[in-house]
A = this chain, B = another copy of it.
Amino acid sequence: SKKVSTILQDSQVQFDLDPLLENSVDIRQLLNNSTQVNDATLVNIILGEKTADPVTGVPFIELQPAQDSVLPTFKEFDFMTNQEQTSKISEAGWSASEGEEYSTCDIESIVNSPSQSEHDVTSSTLTPPTSPFEIVRGRPGRKPSAAGPLRPNRKKQPPKGTEEYVDKRVRNNLAVRKSRDKAKKKQQETEQRVHELSTENENLQKKLDLLTKELNVLKSLFINVGASLPTKFDEIMSR
């Protein structure tokens, strides 16, 4: 099994299709196929309008589901979600760090570790030639609390390309937007609250200053009248 880096460097062609998707089309197979690919066929294949001759029923090209055995394991792409992840790399670095709270991705361990499967480049997918400059991504998703995940064994995400997956993603995206709107709203309200409280504080302070002044004046007046009243005053106030 080849090293990832070797595979990447050896790769001279563009890999653009997702091997994991049944809907992916093996371009190489298409190109190498002896079948004459005419324009109409191309339209049907590329645009996905038809897979076989509507009259004869003969498939334009026999498209096999991508074989797992030839899947590149170090690149993952989902055309359904239009998201790409170098997930193998990430997961590699991820699982590598056992004791760490927040895992880091050790590029070396990835490159030097043997391929995790029998995959080779003859897969039905195309990826862009990987440059020597890789972006190392961290493990995706929320970080577990210090005590670790509460439910370590949870149902996996449904496989990409399924209706279930898309449904889940759509719902989650809605939830995320909602949650962030809420957070943003809360933030604004909090700042607004600060403003209100500050204003209120100022007003209270002004009132307080005024009352204090009045009180002092009154007290001084009392002193002018006689010392006996303050005693009664304290007495009254203590009730």
Contact = CB atoms under 8 A, between A and B. Distances in A.
A229 interface: yes
A36 B108 CA distance: 38
B14 A125 contact: yes
Contact of A82 (B21, B32, B135, B232): B135
Nearest to A13: B47
A227 to B, nearest CB: 13
Interface string A66-78: 0000000000010
Copy count, this protein chain: 2
A195 to B, nearest CB: 10
A133 B163 contact: yes
Interface stretch (A91-99, A112-120, A145-153, A185-193): A185-193
Interface range for A: 35 or more
Contacts of A131: 21, 23, 79-80, 161-163
Nearest to A44: B129
A111 interface: no
A169 B135 CA distance: 8
A208 B45 CA distance: 81
Contacts of A128: 17-18, 21, 23-25, 79-80, 82, 160-161
A200 interface: yes
A16 interface: yes
Interface string A144-181: 00000000000000001111011001100000000000
Interface of A: 13-14, 16-18, 21, 23-25, 27, 30-32, 37, 39, 42-43, 45-49, 77, 79-86, 123, 125-135, 137, 160-163, 165-166, 169-170, 187, 190-191, 193-194, 197-198, 200-201, 204-205, 207-208, 211-215, 217-219, 221-222, 225, 229, 232-233, 236-237
13 contacts: A23-B130, A23-B131, A27-B46, A48-B129, A80-B133, A80-B134, A82-B128, A131-B161, A133-B161, A133-B166, A204-B205, A208-B211, A214-B237
